[in-house]
Amino acid sequence: MDAHTIRRLVDELWTRSALPSLAEFVRIPALSPLYDASWAANGHLRAATEHVGAWITARALPGARIETLTLEGRSPLLIADIPATAGAAARNAGTVILYGHLDKQPPLDGWSAGLEPWKPVLRGGRLYGRGAVDDGYSGYAATTALEAVRAAGGEHARTVILLETCEESGSTDLPAYLDLLSQRLAHVSLVVCLDIGGIDYERLWLTDSLRGLVQLTVTARVLETPQHSGLAGGIVPDPFRVLRHLLDRVEDAASGEIKIPAMHVALPPERHTAARDAAALAPGLIAGRFPMVAPFPAAGADEAELLLNNTWRPALTVTGAAGLPKPADAGNVLRPAASLKLSFRVPPTADAQAALAALEKTLTTDVPAGAKVELSDRLTMNGWAAPAPAPWLRAALARVGAEVFGRPHAVLGCGGSVPFMELLGRKYQNADFLATGALGADSNAHGPDEWLNIAFAQRVTEVVAHILDGHARK
């Protein structure tokens, strides 16, 4: 395939067809099941699959079979099954999975003037709106890449686009669908995940590791009913003090170091080298890529170590709280209970279930001050570490670097989680894996003002086209 032809086709298809449909997708409040208890009745996840499925169908890829699968009680899965081109079919190139998701994070407050979560806004080469970059663009990129390959005379193996609607809830419904599709997905030779990205838009970023997740809600209960804080204080412990004590068991408040051994792994030596290489590509960007209110406290620190903290070491974020009224509404009351939602990111090779068991034991043993500790909302996801790329994939990536971006690709671990990758890594151990995407350090996935860099999404689409052709000809 000619690189100039692919670029022209991709840009034309994005501008004429993909981008207008993606903008309409933004309007659908397709909250992931974890954030919408009535998701089935509300029908937004189904609407998302129908919208994107209709667009893929309209592209009329030869022989494509597009359907939405719905198992009882599970969120829907959109699947598009596209037969191989003649040459790839003759070479028996196997099956490619192109993965993305259509469920979305909650809208959140704090969007800038003129921007809203469910209103698409095109401004300065960006598409704003919830789900634009995480991960609504992926189905459009995958389909456009396939169409461009064919139009440019390229080759692709049989390709299955999988777009789930439970990723933001831990992909808990996906294993059941993979079991259902096990016969259809029996010869997977390449998996491409489009749900990640990098730290700038100057080059292709590949993700070679993803952290796992250990999450639960801990509640400290001390009273049956609220009491006057002056009368009860000093006799009855404040439930937040109990929670502070429990937090000190699991995290060093000064350094952020996690104290639970099961959440740590021995750091592979090659990860130090990879972190140094990545940090050297964009000096200052690792420490300065987030909008902190004061100068970054570790701005003078080794940025490679910051990357390792973010990708191969555990970290805790308190993502929610209950039992604490707003300051303006807070009277002199000692509350019966308080809750914190704890989200631990754990290293790619850590055993998330073992880490959860250790965490539960730490939080419930010898509880201070006679308080009662309750644990709920448990969730675990194992991380993922990529296998070494096959020779054909290394060669294809070298071509992509030169022809699409004009510079070599870069490799970086990701501090987040994509459950699909760990699941598929175990299921298809002989397949090649490529994890990349259009997410940038400033694209605000999960936050207010989420946005997609349209030009970069088009370049990622080009990459997929070249990888598909390289895979088919290997």
Estimate to the nearest angstrom the gap between the alpha carbon of 430 and the chain centroid: 23
Give the model confidence (pLDDT) of 147-202 as tens digits.
Answer: 999 999 999 999 999 999 999 998 999 999 999 999 999 899 999 999 999 888 99
Per-residue pLDDT at 295: 65
Dihedrals phi, psi of 60, to nearest 5 degrees: 55, 45
Give the model confidence (pLDDT) of 361-403 as tens digits.
Answer: 999 999 988 899 999 999 999 999 998 999 999 999 999 999 9
Using an 8 Å Cβ cutoff, are 178 and 427 in contact?
Answer: yes
Using an 8 Å Cβ cutoff, are 438 and 367 in contact?
Answer: no
Using an 8 Å Cβ cutoff, are 311 and 274 in contact?
Answer: no
Q: How confident is the model at residue 417 (pLDDT cuts 50, 70, 90)?
A: confident
The answer to pTM > 0.75 is: yes
| Complete DSSP assignment for 39-75 | HHHH-HHHHHHHHHHHHHHHT--TT-EEEEE--TTS-
Q: How confident is the model at residue 280 (pLDDT cuts 50, 70, 90)?
A: confident
Q: How confident is the model at residue 299 (pLDDT cuts 50, 70, 90)?
A: very low
Sign of CA dihedral 307, 308, 311, 316: negative
Report which of 375, 435, 410, 451 is spatially closest to residue 211, judged by C-alpha positions: 435
- DSSP code, position 127: E
- Asked if residue 113 has pLDDT above 90, the reply is yes
Per-residue pLDDT at 301: 66
- Asked if residue 248 has pLDDT above 60, the reply is yes
Q: What percent of the chain is helix, strand and coil (3-state, nearest 5)?
A: 40, 25, 35
25 three-class SS: helix
106 three-class SS: coil
Strands 77-82 and 65-69: antiparallel
Using an 8 Å Cβ cutoff, are 164 and 102 in contact?
Answer: yes
Q: Read off the tokens for 378.
A: 């448990």
Per-residue pLDDT at 66: 98
Residue 355 CA to residue 261 CA, distance in Å, equals: 8
Residue 134 CA to residue 278 CA, distance in Å, equals: 23
Strands (E), 89-244: 95-101, 121-123, 126-128, 158-164, 188-193, 205-210, 212-221, 227-228
Per-residue pLDDT at 191: 96
- Asked if residue 298 has pLDDT above 60, the reply is no
Report which of 350, 353, 318, 344 is spatially closest to residue 258, judged by C-alpha positions: 344
